[in-house]
């Protein structure tokens, strides 16, 4: 079981015929229970990669399979979609119903689950994202962060084996962001869900098992977060930057304070400094 990109590439064709090569032929495997963060500059191909993984786009060359089902085959793609949930970069692309709870129920209903099960999943998912009290509201009349939470609840209620999250916390406040990350971590541990998390927040990517850095549609680097995300030369080459906490660690190390390298979050750097005293 896995999502596999086998030299999968994608090219958009504009109305005037111009071709935009968004993703070069790419090899990638994502297994259940894994968490993979994808980072890269604007236009580097992250959302295109996400849409290939859930079958929304079929590869221009090469193949994408989900548990052996090819997304290029319409019938197999529909089956594959049942196990791959996706949160879009713009949650509005995802809101379908005019009542929050109907919207969240849409995914489970398509899976043909019994009503009682759907009810239970919808309530649970809305509580997880802290939007249960808004269940009777029209999702179109909510703040941007609230709408993003509804989109996340919709995916949680489907309980897919793979979750592709395209900047899922971009509009959330710090507490909302923490809650989502904690929920994803629980799902991986308890239900072996795989999470592919696209983000511009480097601190968030630090929580993944594996980080992939995209640059102009190619994988520039892949590996453990500690090795990649604090590597200033690599990150700058990718059009990105290291966290403020990493910057501080580097500056202190350069001045003779023996802080280890590979630290990314504020908490890691703070603990490292405390252990020196």
Partner 1 sequence: MLVELGAVGYTYLPRSEAAAQALADVSLTVGSGEFIALIGPTGSGKSTLVQIMAGLVKPTSGRVKFEGNDIWLEKARLPERRRLVGLVFQEPEKQLFEMTVEDDVAFWPRNAGVSAEAVPEMTRAALEAVGLDYPSYRERSPFTLSGGEMRRVAIAGIVVMNPRVLILDESTVGLDARGRMDLAGRIRALNQKDTAIVMVSHDMDEVAESADRVIMLAQGGIVFDGPPREAFKQTDLLAGIDLELPQVARIAARLRRQGLLGGRLPLTLAEIESDILTAFGKVPE
Ligand X SMILES: Nc1ncnc2c1ncn2[C@@H]1O[C@H](COP(=O)(O)OP(=O)(O)OP(=O)(O)O)[C@@H](O)[C@H]1O
Looking at the DSSP bridge assignments, the partners of residue 164 are: 86, 196
- Site residues (CB under 6 A) for ligand X? 12, 14, 20, 22, 40, 42-48, 89, 141-146, 171
To which residue do tokens 């350069």 refer?
Answer: 254
Q: Residue 176 Cβ, how far from ligand X at the closest point, in Å?
A: 9
Instruction: Give the count of residues interacting with partner 1 (CB under 8 A).
Output: 58
The interface mask with partner 1, positions 124-143, x = CB under 8 A, is -------------xx--xxx
To which residue do tokens 């604007």 refer?
Answer: 42
Q: Which is nearer to Mg ion, 51 or 121 (CB)?
A: 51
Q: Residue 113 Cβ, how far from partner 1 at the closest point, in Å?
A: 29
For the chain, give the number of residues. Answer: 277
How far apart are the C-alpha atoms of 273 and 94, rounded to whole Å?
Answer: 44
DSSP 96: -
How far apart are the C-alpha atoms of 116 and 109, rounded to whole Å?
Answer: 11
Residue 60 interacts with which of Mg ion, partner 1, ligand X, none, CB < 5 to 8 Å by class: none
Q: Which is nearer to ligand X, 9 or 118 (CB)?
A: 9
How many angstroms separate the Cα of 23 from the Cα of each of 53, 258, 261?
12, 41, 32
**Rg value, the chain, Cα:** 20
The answer to whether residues 181 and 213 touch, using CB atoms and an 8 Å cutoff, is no
Q: Which of residues 16-75 bind partner 1 (CB under 8 A)?
A: 16, 40-44, 47
Residue 114 interacts with which of ligand X, Mg ion, partner 1, none, CB < 5 to 8 Å by class: none
Q: Which is nearer to Mg ion, 239 or 262 (CB)?
A: 239
Q: Does 213 help bind partner 1 (rule: CB under 8 A)?
A: no
The answer to whether residues 246 and 76 touch, using CB atoms and an 8 Å cutoff, is no
Q: Does 233 help bind partner 1 (rule: CB under 8 A)?
A: no
How far apart are the C-alpha atoms of 125 and 159, rounded to whole Å?
Answer: 10
Query: Residue of minimal CB distance from ligand X?
Result: 145
Structure tokens at 140: 């179109």
Q: Does 200 help bind partner 1 (rule: CB under 8 A)?
A: yes
Helix (H) or strand (E) holding 222: strand 218-223
Q: Residue 133 Cβ, how far from ligand X at the closest point, in Å?
A: 11
The answer to whether residues 31 and 1 touch, using CB atoms and an 8 Å cutoff, is yes
How far apart are the C-alpha atoms of 62 and 76, rounded to whole Å?
Answer: 16
The interface mask with partner 1, positions 93-122, x = CB under 8 A, is ------------------------------
Structure tokens at 258: 């023996």
Residue 224 interacts with which of partner 1, ligand X, Mg ion, none, CB < 5 to 8 Å by class: none
Q: Does 267 help bind partner 1 (rule: CB under 8 A)?
A: yes
Instruction: Report the interface residues with partner 1, using CB under 8 A.
Output: 12, 14-16, 40-44, 47, 89-90, 92, 137-138, 141-146, 149, 167, 170-177, 200, 202-203, 235, 239-241, 243-245, 247-248, 251-252, 255-257, 265-267, 269-271, 273-274, 276-277
């Amino acid at each position: 079981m896995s999502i596999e990109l086998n030299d999968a590439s994608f090219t958009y064709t504009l109305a005037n015929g111009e071709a935009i090569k968004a993703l070069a032929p790419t090899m990638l495997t994502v297994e259940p229970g894994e968490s993979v963060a994808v980072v890269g500059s604007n236009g580097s191909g992250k959302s295109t990669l996400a849409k290939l993984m859930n079958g929304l786009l079929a590869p221009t060359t090469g193949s994408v399979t989900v548990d052996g089902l090819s997304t290029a085959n319409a019938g197999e793609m529909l089956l594959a979609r049942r196990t791959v949930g996706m949160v879009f970069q713009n949650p509005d692309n995802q809101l379908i119903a005019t009542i929050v709870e109907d919207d969240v129920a849409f995914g489970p209903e398509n899976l043909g689950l019994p009503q009682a099960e759907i009810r239970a999943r919808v309530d649970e998912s809305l509580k997880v994202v802290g939007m249960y009290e808004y269940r009777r509201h029209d999702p179109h009349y909510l703040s941007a962060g609230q709408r993003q939470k509804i989109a996340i609840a919709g995916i949680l209620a489907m309980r897919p084996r793979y979750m592709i999250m395209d900047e899922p916390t971009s509009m959330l406040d710090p507490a909302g962001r923490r809650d989502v990350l904690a929920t994803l971590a629980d799902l991986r541990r308890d239900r072996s869900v795989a999470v592919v998390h696209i983000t511009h927040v480097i601190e968030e990517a630090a929580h993944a098992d594996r980080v992939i850095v995209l640059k102009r549609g190619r994988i520039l680097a892949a590996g453990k977060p500690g090795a990649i995300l604090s590597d200033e030369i690599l990150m700058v080459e990718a059009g990105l930057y290291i966290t403020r906490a990493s910057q501080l660690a580097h500056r202190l190390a350069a001045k003779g304070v023996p802080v280890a390298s590979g630290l990314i979050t504020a908490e890691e750097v703070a603990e490292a400094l405390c252990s020196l005293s």
